[in-house]
Structure 1
Amino acid sequence: MACGGSGNTEVEQTVRSLVASYNGKDASGFLDRLTDRAVQDQYGVPRDQATASVAKSIGDPPIELRRLSNTQVSGLTATIDFEHTSGKVVVVEQVAMVKEGDQWKVDGFKNQPVEIPDGVRTIGVEATEFAFKLDGDVKDGDVGFAVHNLGQQEHELVLARIADGVPLENLVMAIAHAGNQAANAPEGVQEIVAFGSYKPGESGNIVFAKALDPGRYGLFCFFPDINDPEQTPHALKGMYTEFSVPG
């Protein structure tokens, strides 16, 4: 049941306060707006053990609240759609909330589909064993990616801005030696722009908060091959490609 009035306003204000605490690096205020279950789900530890972990990561990168919509209040529970940035990408989550005493608290997050806006060029990305295939040319940075996992294994898509002049295969090896974490790779990886995982048959869009900057970009999947006794990362079997955004 959808209800109007103060319930909607209080639910929306709770999300706004959560974002303000996050951006202000206020770990205590941030955790105060989460239920015990949400803390456990998000951080894997009880509330009394979560503060130190939250304090290390809170506020980086900052979140831009883009839109709150579809508020549904029913008694002591509610949901609201929360569109925001996560780094350079746009994320939509349905936030589940419960009222504890006189305070609404966030009880969980559920990712929702993100639509590529009108006027933004859609580039299809097919993921298979073991390759990425782009169905169009990236003519400028005003693009969104429609990712489709056509394979039999789960795949990830890591989009990174990479340095000119570094052979892509060398970069893949360097990332593999860095524990298959692109963020730990040498200076050839300049920035992690986006990432996501897709189960067999799953699709999803990657939408950017603003146009991609000019430069060279790589797509990688470092999930292990589940059919390989050595669990070789997919990228070492050829699951990587690149494109450039003209300046």
Structure 2
Amino acid sequence: MRSLVASYNAKDVDGFLGKLTDKVVQEQYGVPREQATASVAKSIGEPSIEIRRLSNTHVSGTTATIDFEHTSGKVVVVEQVSMAKEGDQWKIDGFKNQPVEIPGGTTTIGVEATEFAFKLDGDVKDGDIALAVHNVGQQEHELVLARIADGVPLENLVMAIAQAGNQAANAPEAVQEIVAFGGYKPGESGNIVFAKPLDPGRYGLFCFFPDVNDPEQTPHALKGMYAEFSVSG
């Protein structure tokens, strides 16, 4: 795992691909190994990964699993990594996301997602928070967190962030950074644990998934699915 992470952070495409089985290359990038170089080159190294803990290693013949806790950009991620031995080399053969526990002492903010709103439960006193997300709606929802400037109405930024493709570099000046967190199917829950406390400032939550019942496939945020909170300095 350490050599895989080193190759990833160094943007060493060949070294990174050389540590993956053909199966996981196909699963992760949707193309065979010989066609994957361009796709890997676009995404490798961003955001950087920092190993926090490797644990629960289990080896059975030519297969193994290991729990891989790491930071990916601003958040903590836990995955169970499957490995397969090819010749004398162990290669990564699969990734399975695992629940992330909220550390003791961290303030938990509940985020209830439905059509078409976020409901926040909890008091944000400082940046040492985690988000406990629960989708109580009938459609799949995502959570996009954006740090935004003071004094700008949140609704004025919804279209601009959508047009930026969730990329802060393409967003208006009032949007300082954007982090998107995967999809939550109806009834699903998950914790978002940050690698370090959030900086003081104003934050917006958005869902840009399309309304599947709308012929225009209008993003949920344009139907009012956004909320905000502030972290005091």
Please state which band the TM-score falls in when normalised by the shorter chain.
over 0.9
Q: Which residue of 2 aligns with 1:7?
A: none
Matched-pair contact (CA < 8 Å) for 2:149–2:174: yes
Match of 2:3 in 1: 17
1:237 Cα deviation (Å)?
0.8
One-letter amino acid of the counterpart of residue 154, structure 1 = E
Report the Cα offset of residue 67 of structure 1: 0.3
**Could you tell me how far apart the structure 2 residues matched to 1:231 and 1:128 are?**
17
Residue in 1 that maps onto 2:36: 50
**Cα distance in 2 between the residues matched to 1:132 and 1:169:** 14
User: Would you identify which runs of 4 or more consecutive aligned residues in structure 1 move more than 4 Å?
Assistant: none
The answer to whether residue 47 in structure 2 is matched with residue 97 in structure 1 is no
Do the aligned partners of 1:79 and 1:94 also contact (CA within 8 Å) in 2?
A: yes
2:66 corresponds, among 80, 83, 95, to 80
Q: Decide which moves more: 41-50 or 113-122.
A: 41-50
**C-alpha distance in 1 between matches for 2:39 and 2:137:** 36
Report the 3-state secondary structure (helix = DSSP H, G, I; strand = E; otherwise coil) of the residue aligned with 1:172: helix
Task: Give the Å deviation of 1:52.
Answer: 2.4
How many residues matched?
A: 231
- Please say if 1:137 is aligned against 2:129: no
Q: Quickly say closer, same or farther: Cα 1:56–1:158, change in 2 above 3 A.
A: same
| Alignment match, 2:23 | 37
8 Å contact from structure 1 (residues 89, 194) kept in 2: no
Q: 1:29 is aligned with what amino acid?
A: G
Q: Which amino acid aligns with 2:125?
A: K
| Matched AA of 2:156 | N
RMSD after superposition: 1.2
The normalised TM-score by structure 2 is 0.96
SS in 2 for 1:201: coil
State which of 196, 199, 204 in structure 1 corresponds to 2:190: 204
Cα drift, residue 192 of structure 1: 1.5
Moved more, 46-55 or 208-217: 46-55
8 A contact 2:166–2:180 mirrored in 1: no
The one-letter amino acid paired with 2:21 is T
Structure 1 residue 17: Cα displacement: 0.6
| DSSP 3-state at the match of 1:182 | coil
Name 2:159's counterpart in structure 1: 173
1:186 is displaced (CA, Å) by: 2.1
Quote how far apart the aligned CAs of 1:188 are: 2.4
- Whether contact under 8 Å (1:124, 1:146) holds in the other structure is yes
| 1:160–1:219 Cα contact (<8 Å) kept | yes
Task: Provide structure 2 residue ranges, at least 5 long, that are not aligned to the other structure.
Answer: none
Residue 135 of structure 2 aligns with an amino acid whose one-letter code is: N
Q: Distance in 2 between matches of 1:68 and 1:234?
A: 38
Q: Give the AA of the match of 1:201.
A: G
Q: TM-score, normalised by structure 1?
A: 0.90
- 1:134-170 deviation digits (Å, cap 9, x = unpaired): 1112110000010000001110011111122221111
Q: Percent identity?
A: 84
